Amino acid sequence: MFKSSTRDIPEAQAVPRHVAIIMDGNGRWAKRRMLPRVAGHRKGVQAVRGVVRACLENGIEFLTLFAFSSENWRRPADEVSILMELFLRTLEQEVTKLHENGIRFRVIGDTSRFDLRIRELIAAGEAQTAANTRLTLAIAANYGGRWDIAQAARRYFELNPEAVHDEAGLRPEALEPFLTMAFAPEPDLFIRTGGEQRISNFLLWQLAYSELYFTDLLWPDFDQAAFDAAIAWYCKRERRFGRTSEQVEASRA
């Protein structure tokens, strides 16, 4: 099990172990070029390749990408179906390449709402890459942070029905093994492109102590240099986890 940042203080690391990204701004990237929104989403897939490469080069262990939120179903039906089509094609074309590069592939989110073909490709991709250890790439699809916490609570009480009567109450850490990201440490660095400074129902629980980095760059323009700039910014943060600066200094000695 990975350390919970509110129970234990994670060890200091030179580079982040886990980077989580809200890839925002595809639509605006296309609009500025008088192109249909789908052109931005396609270009966005290319940006994903660059960031995966940058993670491999930097020795980052976990990369989590927000690809489709539980609220993105509110978009026009034709955009939703284009995004599903793109997800399907990307799964078909990329999973083998991930495997060849030693990358473990995971999907987090409520996949029950996806077409059978997509669910089959996810299951096959996860199985094929399960033993890889170089980098874990998690795609958040039909993911919502509130859904994640609620499904963890539901599964916890299913397995521990007597806990309902527990007078001590529910410890936050008790839920953690049931969260969809239980296979990863909490994100050290959160990045959102596209200029908005909000979480949009992404990893609400897991971002408790993440460093939050926002950039105006639109996702299709987020290249390796932009990623390196985010890492350099991260390296300058002092992660205190509730302690004083003096305590952090002393713990380094």
Q: Shortest Cβ distance from residue 121 to ligand IPE (Å)?
A: 18
Question: Known catalytic residue: 24?
Answer: yes
Single out the catalytic residue among 24, 26, 142, 188: 24
Nearest C-alpha neighbor of 95 from the set 41, 59, 55, 52: 52
Q: Is 22 in the site for Mg ion (CB under 5 A)?
A: no
Residues 6+ apart with CB under 8 A from 13: 188
Q: Shortest Cβ distance from residue 119 to ligand IPE (Å)?
A: 19
Question: Known catalytic residue: 72?
Answer: yes
Single out the catalytic residue among 72, 101, 132, 201: 72
Q: What is the C-alpha radius of gyration for the chain, rounded to an integer number of angstroms?
A: 19
Total number of residues binding Mg ion (CB under 5 A)? 1
Contacts (CB under 5 A) with Mg ion, residues 24-83: 24
Q: Is 94 in the site for Mg ion (CB under 5 A)?
A: no
Residue 106 near residue 130, CB atoms below 8 Å? no
Residue 145 near residue 205, CB atoms below 8 Å? yes
How far is 47 from 51, CA to CA, in rounded Å?
A: 6
Phi, psi angle pair for 137, to nearest 5°: -105, 115
Q: Taking contact as CB under 5 A, which single stretch among the options 23-31, 61-69, 72-80, 198-206 is the one that binds Mg ion? A: 23-31
Nearest C-alpha neighbor of 142 from the set 124, 123, 115, 178: 115
Residue 43 near residue 29, CB atoms below 8 Å? yes
Q: Is 211 in the site for Mg ion (CB under 5 A)?
A: no
Residues 6+ apart with CB under 8 A from 131: 104
Structure tokens at 20: 């989580």
In the list Mg ion, ligand IPE, none, the entry touching 68 (Cβ below 5 to 8 angstroms by class) is: ligand IPE
In the list ligand IPE, Mg ion, none, the entry touching 200 (Cβ below 5 to 8 angstroms by class) is: ligand IPE
> 184: which DSSP letter?
S
Q: Shortest Cβ distance from residue 83 to Mg ion (Å)?
A: 12
Residue 26 near residue 72, CB atoms below 8 Å? no
Name the closest residue to Mg ion (Cβ): 24
In the list ligand IPE, Mg ion, none, the entry touching 64 (Cβ below 5 to 8 angstroms by class) is: none
Site residues (vs ligand IPE, CB under 6 A):
22-28, 66-69, 72, 83, 194, 196, 198, 200
Closest to ligand IPE by CB, 89 vs 171, is 89
Q: Shortest Cβ distance from residue 72 to ligand IPE (Å)?
A: 5
Residue 199 near residue 207, CB atoms below 8 Å? yes
Name the closest residue to ligand IPE (Cβ): 27
Q: Shortest Cβ distance from residue 143 to ligand IPE (Å)?
A: 8
Q: Could you list the active site residues?
A: 24, 72
Residues forming the site for Mg ion (CB under 5 A): 24
